[in-house]
Structure 1
Amino acid sequence: MTDAETTPTTSSPGGSTDSTVEPQVKHMKWWGWGVEGVSFRHDDKPKFAAFVQKVIDLDVTTPGNPMLTFEELPIPEPKVGDDVLARLRSTLGEQHVHTDPMSRIVHTYGKSLRDLVKIRAGILPRVPDVVVYPADEDQVQAVVDLLVESDAVIIPFGGGSNIAGSLEPPPAETRTVVSLDMGRLDRVVDVDEDSGLARIQAGVLGPDMEKQLNARGWTMGHFPDSFTHSTLGGWVATRSSGMQSDKYGDIADITRGLRVVQPGKKIVIRPLPSTSTGPSVREMILGSEGRLGVITEVTVNVHRLPEERLVLGYLFPSWSAGLAAMHAISVSDASPSITRVSDAGETAFSFATRKKSSGLSSVVSNGLMAVLKRRGWDLDQVCLSFIGYEGGKDHVARQRSMVKKIVSEHGGIVLGKGPGELYDQKKFDTPYIRDFLLDRGAAGDVSETAAPWSKLKGLYDNVVASAHRAFDQIGVKGWIMCHLSHSYHSGACLYFTFAFKQDPHEAIAQYDVVKSAIQQAFIESGGTLSHHHAVGTEHARWLADDLSPAGAELMGGLFDAADPGHHFNPGKITG
């Protein structure tokens, strides 16, 4: 687990996003994850520097490399006609239509490794010309109608956290490109308490949404890694999953109703519990990445706040034992909210990112490892697990008991509340470490997939082997690690993290070699191209392999029929 803290940062290249003239809407740094003043630090983690030096031959104690300042970015002038600009300002109010450089740069990319390398190097083949902030669905409709009539391109924008290339304007696009930021549509509109349904505007950020729901005694239970900086509409548009999806389902399970603006009309999906009305239009919109219109409102399942919420830490003697335990839990009567287990590599990384322990906790930790070693455990193969429980006290107690029995049957032990509480506190901080590594010339990124239980271990082995062949191909010492993050009846999600020291002159080319090897191994091993990060442009080349050529053709036909002028986020998913 990493540790992001509010600290003075010396690596910021200036140009704070605080200058963006939309005080109601929060934005991340233009050059990295999160907000200014919050960053990963290593000096209070005594094992971290040695670990990184060992696994990717990088000295993290050196200062970060300089990058372009905001003032040095080669930002092109906006390409927008005076008439279109005047009509947008008349519709929304002048203060909600932006052509200033900071607004446009903040909305140019998402937060993939490729995005960050390009923005830090000033690679800007196409920047949005205008950024607009509608206040409600009527204004969204007016803007969409105006822009389609003007033959402009519309890219819906939530929190900007996407890492699949779903936000970048097409490099060769000659038409006016408008980023339609949904950040002002940020309210929980209504809660149907009898049905457990909430109507929520699509632009609300995760923490703001949960705060509003919690005040009424409800939760949606959806907590992706990007939770702090992503929106409900973005979750729907990318088919997001959260850390507690084992209990609450992913966003496709949670979403019941939708409102989507298209030119001159709206799609309205009523929040019915189940229907038999032909192919599901709701499912067509889920994961559509803005290509079918602008999602303005979502009706979701919500649940009463649980009486008790608990995350416990566990330890397994091997990755195989951990996977087998998660499988056994998934087919048992137990119903935890979180089932997560890390491989030995990620477990070692987690231990290396701990702060210095002292006193009793240090003695207990060292004593436990000594006991396990005497039992015959290979301490280089131990795997850390987190399992969560929610509900009434009796329910949680029964779940814990059932899971403990399964864990014991697979050779595991219970670590208790301490590690689980730490995981719960730091679960949204991990992306900050990528900026820290990138500052020092190393690529760190993720790829995730899902596969049936019968294929999971073979897929894992193939991906790790493929990544190491790719590291050898580009001549670097690389690292890859993994955790199982979501369990289902028939399979699970495996989430891989990889890192290596880059050649600054070949950064993107090297990244392509490694990323492609991992993604190709997913397909060849029976997995999907992505479990919850979406397709975008990053994964589009594997779409036909995943869905079959006929399936990809059907999807392309859907987009062409719904948007023949290719006004809505063109180039995403199907290319």
Structure 2
Amino acid sequence: MSGVKHQKWWGWGVEGIGFNPEGKPNFAPFVKKAIGLDISKPGTPPKFEDLDVPAPVIDDALRTRLLDVVGERYLLDDDLDRVVHTLGKGVRDLMRIRRGDLRRVVDVVVYPADEAQVQKIVDLCVDADAVLIPFGGGSNIVGALEPMPAERRTVVSVDLGRMSKVLEIDDESGLARIQAGALGPQIEEQLGRRGWTMGHFPDSFNHSSLGGWIATRSTGMQSDKYGDIADIVRGLRAVRHGEVLALRPLPSTSSGPSVREMVIGSEGRLGIITEAWVNVHRVPEVREIVGYFFPDFTSGLDAMQEIHTSDAHTIVTRISDANETEMSFATQRAQKGRKKLVMNTLFGYLKRRGWDLEKMCLSYIGFEGGRRYVKQNQAIVKEIVTKHGGIVVGTGVGSVYDSKKFDTPYIRDFLLDRGATADVSETTTPWSNLKHLYDTTIEAANHAFDTAGTKGFIMCHFAHSYHSGACLYFTFALPDNDKATSYQNYDTVKRAIQQNFMDNGATVSHHHGVGSEHAPWMAEDISPAGTKLQRALLEGADPGNNFNPGKILHDGEPGIAMHSYDAPAPGGVSGRAEQVPSA
């Protein structure tokens, strides 16, 4: 009715698109080996009519005032729209939706057309002591969209989907002013018409917005060149009660503590972002993703570090460990003809060189710029890869990655409908700690699988290089056949991984944000003094607790998060529960 398209209420992406294992003969055996699950049975997506959606809580006076602002077409309180705007796309969200476990659902959804309407909505809602939750693409996976379970006030979801335009481009400065509701494809299509790119391509690119990227401190796949969203955003506007925060697009400032940095990562708690000035770059002449093989993960990590400190300039440096490499091969279509012959010849050659193919790791490295510049950088990288025992596979493998890079969540949903739970945890740590963190996280997850009494699988890839360190991105899966224990088993593994990050010199999250999912570890991550500063900021800026309350820092709810399921306390696996904040 609103004209704004949304993802499925029960899963990732739009209706009619999903993962199909047909033509991928190695996928079913891989899943059976990894987690003991037979995927031959048909999936069982949930039915909306089976959901018991609580009635909206909104008085007639506020509803009438909101109608006066946006009009009847752009105020929706039907059950479907309210459910779509309540849960994100984290595995815990999707587990709950499949079990009909709805708690506090948003009461009404409004679609403002511009900043002026956002201001009116904010002022009306704060004056009425209602709760405001901004909504972009709905792809959040850390519980940043859902109202708090005990919330008794009216909850208004402010969907910015109508605010999706590139408003202007400063060609001389390489800056673009873009509305916060614009999704990744909308941004790149509008910029591309004039020869520009923002260069920001997170995994959620197709279904996430500029405002969401800013609110969660997003990082895109090409961050080696373009930086994360904090590097890209130079100025912004955010609506607060009775005022608009306006930050000009300056290249750098010394204006005291950075207000821009306060808003980046604030997850809607400091106001509703309406637009931003961002760095943009001319579309490059050449863009290539090249595939490489390494004999093991350690040699690949060493190569990634040397590439980062070399004279090479890349847009992507990524390597999967042996488990993720195996999974990547398992999701490929059956090789035929010349392609099959080439791969068999290559694997035979590697065996003769003494490679253990079960330890082999697949890497992707991206280059862009002028043709000559790209070739120069590829030559430097090839020398480093060879030095560390790796080989160049070519752009054919790289193009497969490039075409499928946004599809992984569909595999997760496919497995979830057949009795498996899969989730991710990502973090950063200094180069000197990278291998240790990898080893201890794998060990912690495997111990958690044993503690839960279930077969499990964990894999990892390296991505996003920095001067002092890098990001490790872990994916884990376990069977979900017993609904009585599935929540607890999932929590046991998730907590073990997150606690290991804290115990071994890493951060709670690299680019997914905090939400309610990661909030219990914030005091360990940034110290109690750090959370004290954050709390002072959030409470001082929003004394009525009207802007997305309960995110980033807990407001008194028990357990790991507002949607925990009687599992051990966050330190339960490692015996460090006393370090978890009880704010």
| Structure-2-length-normalised TM-score | 0.94
How far apart are 1:63 and its partner, in Å?
A: 1.1
Matched, 1:262 2:240: yes
What is the letter of the counterpart of residue 282 of structure 2?
A: R
Matched, 1:178 2:164: no
SS in 1 for 2:73: helix
Moved over 3 A (4+): none
Of 282, 301, 304 in structure 2, the residue corresponding to residue 326 of structure 1 is 304
Partner deviation per Cα, 1:16-71 (whole Å, 9 max, x = no partner) = xxxxx111x1200000000000010112100010010011000011111363x111
What is the letter of the counterpart of residue 542 of structure 1?
A: W
Q: Is the 8 A contact 1:481 1:496 kept in 2?
A: yes
* Unmatched runs of 5 consecutive residues or more in structure 2: 555-583
Partners of 1:370 and 1:559 in 2: how far apart?
59
Q: Counterpart in 1 of 2:486?
A: 507
SS in 2 for 1:39: coil
Partner deviation per Cα, 1:213-262 (whole Å, 9 max, x = no partner) = 00010000000000000000000000000000000000000000010000
What is the letter of the counterpart of residue 35 of structure 2?
A: I
What is the letter of the counterpart of residue 494 of structure 2?
A: K
Q: Counterpart in 2 of 1:459?
A: 437
Partners of 1:201 and 1:246 in 2: how far apart?
25
Partners of 1:244 and 1:399 in 2: how far apart?
16
SS in 1 for 2:18: strand
Matched, 1:202 2:143: no
Of 435, 438, 447 in structure 1, the residue corresponding to residue 425 of structure 2 is 447
Partners of 2:449 and 2:11 in 1: how far apart?
25
Q: Counterpart in 2 of 1:482?
A: 460
Q: Is the 8 A contact 1:441 1:504 kept in 2?
A: no
What is the letter of the counterpart of residue 112 of structure 2?
A: P
Of 512, 524, 532 in structure 2, the residue corresponding to residue 545 of structure 1 is 524
How far apart are 1:525 and its partner, in Å?
A: 1.1
What is the letter of the counterpart of residue 268 of structure 2?
A: G
Identity of aligned residues (%): 61
SS in 1 for 2:144: coil
Matched, 1:434 2:420: no
Of 526, 529, 533 in structure 2, the residue corresponding to residue 554 of structure 1 is 533
Q: Counterpart in 1 of 2:2?
A: 22
Q: Is the 8 A contact 1:65 1:441 kept in 2?
A: no
Matched, 1:147 2:125: yes
What is the letter of the counterpart of residue 102 of structure 2?
A: L
SS in 1 for 2:141: coil
Q: In the TM superposition, what are the counterparts of 1:295-444 in structure 2 within 5 Å?
A: 295-444=273-422
Q: Counterpart in 1 of 2:546?
A: 567
Superposition RMSD in Å: 0.6
Q: Is the 8 A contact 2:45 2:98 kept in 1?
A: no
Matched, 1:282 2:269: no
Partners of 2:50 and 2:188 in 1: how far apart?
39
What is the letter of the counterpart of residue 510 of structure 1?
A: N
Q: Counterpart in 2 of 1:108?
A: 86
SS in 2 for 1:166: coil
Q: Counterpart in 2 of 1:212?
A: 190
Partners of 1:137 and 1:90 in 2: how far apart?
15
Matched, 1:525 2:508: no
Partner deviation per Cα, 1:414-442 (whole Å, 9 max, x = no partner) = 00010000000000011101110000110
What is the letter of the counterpart of residue 62 of structure 1?
A: K
Q: In the TM superposition, what are the counterparts of 1:241-256 in structure 2 within 5 Å?
A: 241-256=219-234
Q: Is the 8 A contact 1:188 1:212 kept in 2?
A: yes
How far apart are 1:509 and its partner, in Å?
A: 1.4
Q: Counterpart in 1 of 2:566?
A: none
Q: Is the 8 A contact 1:434 1:444 kept in 2?
A: yes
Of 20, 23, 35 in structure 2, the residue corresponding to residue 56 of structure 1 is 35
Q: Is the 8 A contact 2:233 2:278 kept in 1?
A: yes
Partners of 2:60 and 2:447 in 1: how far apart?
53
SS in 2 for 1:431: helix
Q: Is the 8 A contact 1:110 1:163 kept in 2?
A: yes
Q: Counterpart in 2 of 1:18?
A: none
How far apart are 1:505 and its partner, in Å?
A: 1.9
Q: Is the 8 A contact 2:428 2:506 kept in 1?
A: yes
SS in 2 for 1:243: coil
* Unmatched runs of 5 consecutive residues or more in structure 1: 1-20
What is the letter of the counterpart of residue 234 of structure 1?
A: G
- How many correspondences in the alignment? 553
Partners of 2:262 and 2:206 in 1: how far apart?
26
| Structure-1-length-normalised TM-score | 0.96
SS in 1 for 2:408: coil
Partners of 1:139 and 1:66 in 2: how far apart?
37
